[in-house]
Structure 1
Amino acid sequence: MVKQYGNVYLIAGIAIIGGGLFGFDISSMSAIIAGQGYLCYFNQGSGTCTGPASSTQGGITASMAGGSWLASLCSGFVSDAFGRKKAIMLGALIWVVGCIIVSASQNIAMLIVGRVINGFCVGICSAQVPVYISELAPPTKRGRLVGAQQWAITWGILIMFYISYGCSFINGPAAFRVPWALQMIPAIILFFGMMILPESPRWLASKDRWEECEAVLVLVHGHGDPDSPWVAREFREIKEWLEIERQSKQISYLTLFTPRYINRTHIGLFTQIWSQLTGMNVMMYYITYVFTMAGLTGNTLLVSSSIQYVINVFMTIPALIWIDRVGRRPTLLVGSTLMAIWLFVNAAVLAAKGVYVPNGIGGIKEARIRVTGSASKAVIACSYLFVASYAPTWGPVSWIYPPELFPNQLRGKANAFTTSGNWAFNFALGYFVPPAFENITWRTYIIFGVFCVAMTIHVFFMFPETGGKPLEEVNAMFEDPNGPRYIGTPAWKTKNYYSTSARMEQGEGLEKQIHDDHDETVVQNESV
């Protein structure tokens, strides 16, 4: 039997490689679609190397998200039946198969098939890695550890971009075959790395494997001490809530739409949908189009594009450090507000200072507005600021928040469903944006700016704070009539229990503090 390790940072560090695979896909496309090797090999235009048509390129890019949407829905069944750990390992194997097909592509149809298969892996891992980590992480580190998936995505984007950039100097199809083949390496590391990690204790409990559940809690939270009070409390709460959950009807996807869960389902689903409607992944996939409009060409274009990937990596770090202290709500509100500002400014600059180029710039038909001088610098600066606003806010929180909302038996399917919303909109936007840049040009920014304003309003009025609470406490927030309920309490008045959770890990009374806070809120509301 393989020895298992319980350090939560090691667990997260290996599991989040699944997120890194998504990052690899993003930048492998953004760096390659402007290269001559790709444009010549997959040419559909009347010219020599004009590449696929805009609608076809949108389909190629979106095909991965299409596969991810289907797989994320199926991942709930796989995860609940075989475990979080095995679901992630299955995703790693699927990624290797997809990379083989993509790197060997002889035509656009084969490329799309390979990307759909890659999408199956990303759909499984993006849905189940946050579930796996959230079920193993202590409350005061859960945001940091689950949010590390977004950090892995940013590292995957950065690493793969520079690999693709280096390969762009190779002549012929090898310029895209080599980087696409190298994507297999992290998946192989993920598969074998998962072997030394424990299974989720909450999944083990759902299968009545109580001895194994307790052993994992001792390994991860008790640091090997079976008499740890934190382990005893966690084990007791898992048992209590599992008994309550089993009194309800059989769990299925339809359960998410029952009155008991519909509010949580809508919040979790829109967290993922809004993260796409910020326009961030659009900026990642098609940043070369934007910077071409700003007058950048050749190596300058690719290097300038890579700067935003560096920003993305380093600006995610503040979220990993402070997300549990600051909480989920303030982070989301600040992020969407700032992104709206940069999107509207970019639209204004392109509209006021741009010159329309009917046939596109440098053969790129999606780049139909040229800006120069200070206007060009403003477009580049706003693009960087947009990334710097997304990276510490909606990027990590969109993965952290949904798994926290649901009870143990429903969490796998619930997170699979909410993540499917992410991929459905990723697919739609990946397909929509090339024709949008071609036909409505700067107005594309207006669309995403309006979405950012809408999500700010939605979060403020509807999204409760889950920071610092054990998962069972979050469930009590929605269901327990004697607990710190969200029902009847406005979302903007819900609290972050980071400090009290931290004290509980040191042996002090979290439950008493939470209920004291709740009683105080009730008294205040009654007095009003």
Structure 2
Amino acid sequence: MAGGLVATGGGGTETINALIHPGSWYSNSRLIKLNLWILLLLITSSTNGYDGSMMNGLQTLEQWKSAFNNPSGGMLGLLNCIQTVGALAATPLAPYATDGLGRRIPILFGATIMIVGTIVQTLSHNVGAFIGARFCIGFGLTFAANAAPLLVTELAYPSQRAPLTSMYNSLWYSGAIIAAWTTYGSFRIPSSWAWRLPSVLQGVPSVFQITLMWFCPESPRWLINKGRDAQALKTLAYYHARGNDQDPLVQFEYNEIKEAIALDRQVASSVGWTDLFATPGNRKRMRIIIALAFFSQWSGNGLVSYYLNRVFDTIGITSVSTQNLINGILQIYNFIVAIVAGLLCDKIGRRTLFIASNIGMLVFFCMQTICSARYAISGSSAAANSVIAAIFLYYGSYDIAYTPLIVSYTVEILPYHLRAKGFTVFNFAISLSLIFNQYANPIALDALGWKYYLVYCVWLAFELGFILLFLIETKNRTLEETAALFDGDDKVAEIHARAAADAHLGDGKVRTPSVDEKGESDMIEQARH
């Protein structure tokens, strides 16, 4: 692949833009309803963000430390990384559930497991129970996190797909904000409820999902792939065109999905893990996806995400109240930057945001390293304050791309038949990188202090070089067109030519489901009611 390849727009995007209904989404009651369903899916990421921030806060609480024998070094790393180990254990199973049972069932299953884990975690009286509970939470989270972003991107209205999918990872910070301020308030409780209360609240998003997911629509792409075409058309029509299944936009979406899936089936009648690396296009995808997964966790952010108190200790900030206050403010700041960047992804472009993000991270992490070294030498309060400023500037840079885009970019560049498995590889790579971060970082910080930051300075320079060479621009493309981009312009043209021909755009003729398909849809509706 040529370095810095930038894709040009295609006819499919122009067609979609021409067919999108004018007017604001908030004046369309069905789009409002659809976006509320999407919000229910997005809070899966909030659960993940809550966990990381909660563990950061618990490490500052004397009540938690005394309850678990003041864990440090390897034991502290284990308490953090065991959630990721649970996620790894579920990784081989999650894509089969997502592809075989649909997008909704794995989310329900995962939420149920997470609630069980939260209950055990809250009631823990020893380290073993706490570790087992966190393993359980990680196991359930993998099923939900594998399916939720796929359902978001496959349900969203075309013009809102990229920003809404970008919101998925951005809402990590919504959970982090709640956890940070919960622990800031609860550390004054003179009992074990100082840490049990934050643990109880971790299960709230899962309770909402178990209650409401039964009524959420299923992915039209999954329905078509399972031969339930009429139900898929009805879902697209209900949410994208006020119920009109003859609407040109709905017909184009419907036929584009059908043709893309049909072409994918011509390539591979049965999809295995080796297909992820079987073609040049797929190898390009996986090279970027695996790199982004590791970059998202190995950019120095793991130090602040899980061991902020250790970072503060190295610059003389040891007050529990001050540490939790800064953590709470940092999470709000992160959330705002990530949301704004996610909303701008189609205007600015993914590649531009990633480049800007990597340059900023490299500059400001080096600044943090220099100021930390200065404090270690002189004990200067100005140097300590500069470290805090550098952390905020660094995270602002990280949030430009790595918070909103890593999930949405991964999902959109994968074709339907590889989407669940490819996204599983992405999550697997993140889990591997997290285990290293969560287990090795506290040991390295204890042994090296600020000198450990130099490792990340070098790695951040490598990341910037990789992004400049290999990241492909994907803005302003339909989901099928973006996935086909890696396989060459011929496949893009073929998908859109077939979709346009099937929909007969421009002459007033549209494809409607057959009698059998309508009968199937009626039976499905009767079964649901």
TM-score, reference length from structure 2: 0.84
Gaps of 5+ in 2: 1-28, 494-504, 507-529
Match of 1:117 among 120, 129, 136: 136
CA distance in 1, matches of 2:181, 2:440: 27
Displacement after TM superposition at 1:481 (Å): 4.8
SS in 2 for 1:145: helix
Matches within 5 A, 1:443-482: 443-482=451-490
Q: Which amino acid aligns with 1:405?
A: I
Matches within 5 A, 1:204-353: 204-247=223-266, 248-260=268-280, 261-296=282-317, 297-353=319-375
Matches within 5 A, 1:372-387: 372-387=380-395
Displacement after TM superposition at 1:483 (Å): 5.1
Displacement after TM superposition at 1:12 (Å): 2.0
Moved over 4 A (4+): none
SS in 2 for 1:214: helix
CA distance in 1, matches of 2:419, 2:192: 43
Matches within 5 A, 1:57-68: 57-68=76-87
In the alignment, what sits opposite 2:4? Answer: none
SS in 2 for 1:172: coil
Q: Is the 8 A contact 2:98 2:146 kept in 1?
A: no
Matches within 5 A, 1:51-130: 51-130=70-149
In the alignment, what sits opposite 2:60? Answer: 34
Q: Deviations over 1:63-99 (max 9, x none)?
A: 1112123323421111011111111111111110110
Q: Which amino acid aligns with 1:350?
A: S
In the alignment, what sits opposite 1:393? Answer: 401
Q: Is the 8 A contact 2:113 2:139 kept in 1?
A: yes
SS in 1 for 2:137: helix
CA distance in 2, matches of 1:236, 1:265: 27
CA distance in 1, matches of 2:160, 2:257: 18
- What is the RMSD of the two structures over their aligned residues, measured on CA atoms? 1.9
Q: Is the 8 A contact 1:295 1:372 kept in 2?
A: no
Q: Is the 8 A contact 1:73 1:413 kept in 2?
A: no
CA distance in 2, matches of 1:8, 1:147: 16
Q: Which amino acid aligns with 2:250?
A: V
Q: Is the 8 A contact 2:374 2:383 kept in 1?
A: no
- Cα 1:181–1:399 change in 2 (3 A) is same
Q: Which amino acid aligns with 2:221?
A: R
SS in 1 for 2:403: helix
Q: Is the 8 A contact 2:76 2:442 kept in 1?
A: yes
In the alignment, what sits opposite 1:12? Answer: 38
User: Which segment is superposed worse, 129-138 or 228-237?
Assistant: 129-138
Q: Is the 8 A contact 1:333 1:459 kept in 2?
A: yes
In the alignment, what sits opposite 1:367? Answer: none
Q: Is the 8 A contact 1:78 1:87 kept in 2?
A: yes
- Cα 1:374–1:134 change in 2 (3 A) is same
Match of 1:176 among 192, 195, 200: 195
Q: Is the 8 A contact 1:12 1:148 kept in 2?
A: no
Q: Which amino acid aligns with 1:388?
A: G
Gaps of 5+ in 1: 44-50, 356-369, 486-506, 509-528
- Cα 1:481–1:323 change in 2 (3 A) is closer
In the alignment, what sits opposite 2:15? Answer: none
Q: Is the 8 A contact 1:141 1:324 kept in 2?
A: no
Q: Is the 8 A contact 2:303 2:311 kept in 1?
A: no
Q: How many residues align?
A: 463
Displacement after TM superposition at 1:143 (Å): 2.0
SS in 2 for 1:13: helix
Identical aligned residues as a percent: 25
Displacement after TM superposition at 1:5 (Å): 6.2
CA distance in 2, matches of 1:236, 1:480: 20
Matches within 5 A, 1:186-201: 186-201=205-220
Q: Does 1:406 align with 2:407?
A: no
Q: Is the 8 A contact 1:346 1:378 kept in 2?
A: yes
Displacement after TM superposition at 1:246 (Å): 1.5
Match of 1:424 among 415, 422, 432: 432
CA distance in 2, matches of 1:128, 1:279: 28
Higher relative contact order (CA 8 A, sep 6+): 2
Q: Is the 8 A contact 1:276 1:425 kept in 2?
A: yes
Q: Is the 8 A contact 1:70 1:420 kept in 2?
A: no
Displacement after TM superposition at 1:318 (Å): 1.2
Q: Is the 8 A contact 1:405 1:474 kept in 2?
A: yes
SS in 1 for 2:385: helix
Displacement after TM superposition at 1:216 (Å): 1.2
User: Which segment is superposed worse, 166-175 or 56-65?
Assistant: 166-175
